[in-house]
Amino acid sequence: MKRKIILFAILIYCFSNAHAQVANEKFNVGLQFQAGRIVQLGVEGEYILKPNGKYLNSLVGSITSNGMQLNTDFGNIIGTGFEIGFGKRKYLNTKGNLDKFYFDTRINYGSINFDKQLDYNKASFSANGNFTYLSILNATLGYKLLLKKIIVEPSLSVRYNIEIKGTGIVDTKDINNFLFNAGLKLGYSF
Protein backbone atom coordinates (compact mmCIF):
# COMPACT_ATOMS: atom_id res chain seq x y z
CA MET A 1 0.00 0.00 0.00
CA LYS A 2 2.84 2.40 0.87
CA ARG A 3 4.45 1.82 -2.53
CA LYS A 4 1.20 2.64 -4.33
CA ILE A 5 0.81 5.87 -2.36
CA ILE A 6 4.43 6.86 -3.06
CA LEU A 7 4.11 6.12 -6.76
CA PHE A 8 0.82 8.04 -6.92
CA ALA A 9 2.41 11.08 -5.18
CA ILE A 10 5.37 11.07 -7.59
CA LEU A 11 3.11 10.83 -10.64
CA ILE A 12 0.87 13.68 -9.44
CA TYR A 13 3.91 15.87 -8.77
CA CYS A 14 5.42 15.18 -12.20
CA PHE A 15 2.19 15.63 -14.16
CA SER A 16 1.29 18.80 -12.28
CA ASN A 17 4.22 20.40 -14.11
CA ALA A 18 3.18 19.00 -17.51
CA HIS A 19 0.75 21.85 -18.24
CA ALA A 20 3.65 24.20 -19.01
CA GLN A 21 4.27 24.89 -22.67
CA VAL A 22 7.42 23.07 -23.76
CA ALA A 23 9.94 24.82 -25.97
CA ASN A 24 12.33 22.90 -28.20
CA GLU A 25 15.19 24.99 -26.88
CA LYS A 26 17.41 23.04 -24.52
CA PHE A 27 18.09 19.72 -22.92
CA ASN A 28 20.93 19.44 -20.42
CA VAL A 29 22.57 16.30 -19.15
CA GLY A 30 25.34 16.08 -16.60
CA LEU A 31 27.30 14.14 -14.04
CA GLN A 32 26.56 15.15 -10.45
CA PHE A 33 28.37 14.67 -7.17
CA GLN A 34 26.90 15.62 -3.78
CA ALA A 35 28.56 15.33 -0.40
CA GLY A 36 26.85 15.27 2.95
CA ARG A 37 25.41 12.57 5.20
CA ILE A 38 24.48 10.67 2.03
CA VAL A 39 27.15 10.86 -0.69
CA GLN A 40 25.81 10.70 -4.26
CA LEU A 41 27.29 10.19 -7.70
CA GLY A 42 24.97 10.03 -10.69
CA VAL A 43 23.44 11.64 -13.74
CA GLU A 44 20.90 14.42 -14.05
CA GLY A 45 18.76 15.46 -16.99
CA GLU A 46 17.02 18.80 -17.38
CA TYR A 47 14.39 19.79 -19.93
CA ILE A 48 14.04 23.55 -20.36
CA LEU A 49 10.47 24.82 -20.69
CA LYS A 50 9.30 27.88 -22.59
CA PRO A 51 9.78 31.06 -20.49
CA ASN A 52 6.79 31.84 -18.31
CA GLY A 53 6.70 35.57 -17.65
CA LYS A 54 9.98 36.72 -16.15
CA TYR A 55 11.16 33.27 -14.99
CA LEU A 56 12.61 30.34 -16.89
CA ASN A 57 11.44 26.91 -15.67
CA SER A 58 12.63 23.38 -16.31
CA LEU A 59 11.84 19.80 -15.36
CA VAL A 60 14.71 17.86 -13.76
CA GLY A 61 15.29 14.20 -13.06
CA SER A 62 18.22 12.31 -11.60
CA ILE A 63 19.46 8.79 -10.93
CA THR A 64 22.29 8.43 -8.44
CA SER A 65 24.34 5.82 -6.68
CA ASN A 66 24.41 6.51 -2.93
CA GLY A 67 26.76 5.79 -0.08
CA MET A 68 26.10 6.33 3.61
CA GLN A 69 27.91 5.58 6.85
CA LEU A 70 25.79 4.12 9.64
CA ASN A 71 27.17 4.54 13.17
CA THR A 72 26.06 1.65 15.38
CA ASP A 73 27.03 0.23 18.76
CA PHE A 74 29.10 -2.35 16.88
CA GLY A 75 31.05 0.12 14.74
CA ASN A 76 30.66 2.06 11.51
CA ILE A 77 29.09 0.33 8.54
CA ILE A 78 29.13 1.68 4.98
CA GLY A 79 26.00 1.14 2.92
CA THR A 80 25.39 1.56 -0.80
CA GLY A 81 22.23 2.02 -2.80
CA PHE A 82 20.38 4.21 -5.28
CA GLU A 83 18.15 7.26 -5.49
CA ILE A 84 15.81 8.59 -8.16
CA GLY A 85 14.42 12.11 -8.14
CA PHE A 86 12.04 14.31 -10.16
CA GLY A 87 11.19 17.95 -9.79
CA LYS A 88 10.90 21.46 -11.13
CA ARG A 89 13.56 24.16 -11.33
CA LYS A 90 13.01 27.93 -11.50
CA TYR A 91 15.79 30.24 -12.71
CA LEU A 92 15.88 33.50 -10.79
CA ASN A 93 16.54 35.88 -13.66
CA THR A 94 14.60 38.08 -16.05
CA LYS A 95 16.44 37.47 -19.32
CA GLY A 96 15.49 33.84 -19.92
CA ASN A 97 19.04 32.54 -20.11
CA LEU A 98 20.55 29.69 -18.10
CA ASP A 99 23.61 31.48 -16.71
CA LYS A 100 21.99 32.39 -13.38
CA PHE A 101 20.90 31.33 -9.90
CA TYR A 102 18.13 28.79 -9.60
CA PHE A 103 15.90 27.20 -6.99
CA ASP A 104 14.52 23.71 -7.39
CA THR A 105 12.26 21.36 -5.48
CA ARG A 106 12.18 17.60 -5.91
CA ILE A 107 10.68 14.36 -4.76
CA ASN A 108 13.34 11.69 -4.15
CA TYR A 109 13.05 8.00 -3.41
CA GLY A 110 16.07 5.99 -2.30
CA SER A 111 17.23 2.76 -0.75
CA ILE A 112 20.56 1.99 0.93
CA ASN A 113 21.69 -1.53 1.87
CA PHE A 114 24.15 -2.31 4.64
CA ASP A 115 26.05 -5.59 4.79
CA LYS A 116 29.24 -6.18 6.76
CA GLN A 117 30.87 -8.95 8.75
CA LEU A 118 31.61 -7.64 12.26
CA ASP A 119 33.61 -8.91 15.20
CA TYR A 120 32.23 -7.96 18.60
CA ASN A 121 33.21 -9.43 22.01
CA LYS A 122 35.07 -12.33 20.35
CA ALA A 123 32.01 -13.18 18.27
CA SER A 124 31.64 -12.73 14.54
CA PHE A 125 28.28 -11.93 12.99
CA SER A 126 26.80 -10.47 9.85
CA ALA A 127 25.39 -6.97 10.24
CA ASN A 128 22.96 -6.20 7.47
CA GLY A 129 19.94 -4.02 6.94
CA ASN A 130 18.18 -1.60 4.65
CA PHE A 131 17.18 2.07 4.84
CA THR A 132 14.43 3.08 2.39
CA TYR A 133 13.28 6.69 2.31
CA LEU A 134 11.18 9.28 0.53
CA SER A 135 12.09 12.96 0.48
CA ILE A 136 9.32 15.41 -0.42
CA LEU A 137 10.86 18.34 1.45
CA ASN A 138 13.91 18.86 -0.74
CA ALA A 139 15.10 22.32 -1.79
CA THR A 140 18.22 23.26 -3.71
CA LEU A 141 19.81 26.64 -4.41
CA GLY A 142 22.41 26.58 -7.16
CA TYR A 143 24.17 28.58 -9.82
CA LYS A 144 24.41 27.39 -13.40
CA LEU A 145 27.41 28.69 -15.31
CA LEU A 146 27.10 28.02 -19.01
CA LEU A 147 30.42 28.14 -20.89
CA LYS A 148 29.33 27.75 -24.52
CA LYS A 149 27.86 24.22 -24.26
CA ILE A 150 29.65 23.12 -21.05
CA ILE A 151 27.79 23.49 -17.73
CA VAL A 152 29.41 23.99 -14.33
CA GLU A 153 26.87 24.01 -11.52
CA PRO A 154 27.65 24.32 -7.78
CA SER A 155 24.68 23.90 -5.41
CA LEU A 156 23.57 23.68 -1.78
CA SER A 157 20.54 21.68 -0.68
CA VAL A 158 18.54 20.92 2.41
CA ARG A 159 16.07 18.09 2.77
CA TYR A 160 14.20 15.86 5.14
CA ASN A 161 13.99 12.11 4.48
CA ILE A 162 10.89 10.27 5.58
CA GLU A 163 11.87 6.73 6.52
CA ILE A 164 9.65 4.26 4.71
CA LYS A 165 11.34 1.16 5.94
CA GLY A 166 14.29 0.30 8.16
CA THR A 167 15.25 -3.34 8.49
CA GLY A 168 17.99 -5.32 10.19
CA ILE A 169 20.59 -3.15 11.90
CA VAL A 170 19.01 0.09 10.69
CA ASP A 171 17.32 1.94 13.53
CA THR A 172 15.91 5.46 13.26
CA LYS A 173 17.94 6.53 16.30
CA ASP A 174 21.10 5.95 14.22
CA ILE A 175 20.00 8.15 11.29
CA ASN A 176 19.48 11.90 11.19
CA ASN A 177 16.89 12.44 8.46
CA PHE A 178 17.49 16.21 8.21
CA LEU A 179 20.31 16.61 5.67
CA PHE A 180 22.46 19.38 4.22
CA ASN A 181 24.38 18.67 1.00
CA ALA A 182 26.85 20.53 -1.17
CA GLY A 183 27.11 19.49 -4.79
CA LEU A 184 28.82 20.03 -8.11
CA LYS A 185 27.44 19.11 -11.50
CA LEU A 186 29.34 19.10 -14.77
CA GLY A 187 27.33 18.75 -17.93
CA TYR A 188 26.57 19.51 -21.53
CA SER A 189 23.76 21.58 -23.04
CA PHE A 190 22.09 20.44 -26.27
Burial profile 116-126: b = 16 or more Cβ within 10 angstroms, e = fewer: beeeeeeeeee
Between CA 115 and CA 99 the distance in angstroms is: 43
Q: How confident is the model at residue 53 (pLDDT cuts 50, 70, 90)?
A: confident
Q: How confident is the model at residue 16 (pLDDT cuts 50, 70, 90)?
A: very low
Residue 19 pLDDT more than 80? no
Range(s) of the domain holding residue 32: 2-189
- CATH assignment at residue 8: 2.40.160
Between CA 90 and CA 41 the distance in angstroms is: 23
Task: List pLDDT tens digits, range 161-186.
Answer: 888 877 887 776 667 788 899 999 99
Residue 12 pLDDT more than 60? no
Task: List pLDDT tens digits, range 88-141.
Answer: 999 886 565 666 899 999 999 999 998 887 776 666 777 788 989 999 889 999
Contact (CB, 8 A) for 86 and 14: yes
Which tops the pLDDT comparison, 52 or 83?
83
List of residues 6+ apart from 189 with CB closer than 8 A: 26, 27, 28, 98, 146, 149, 150, 151
pLDDT reported for residue 117: 79
Mean pLDDT to the nearest integer, 23-44? 83
List of residues 6+ apart from 2 with CB closer than 8 A: 164
Residue 15 pLDDT more than 50? no
Q: 3-state SS of the chain?
A: CHHHHHHHHHHHHHHHCCCCCEEEEEEEEEEEEEEECEEEEEEEEEEEECCECCEEEEEEEEEEEEEEEEEECCEEEEEEEEEEEEEEEEECCCCCCCCCEEEEEEEEEEEEEEEEEEEECCEEEEEEEEEEEEEEEEEEEEECEEECCEEEEEEEEEEEEEEEEEEECCCHHHCCCEEEEEEEEEEEEC
pLDDT reported for residue 62: 96
Specify the number of domains making up the chain.
Answer: 1
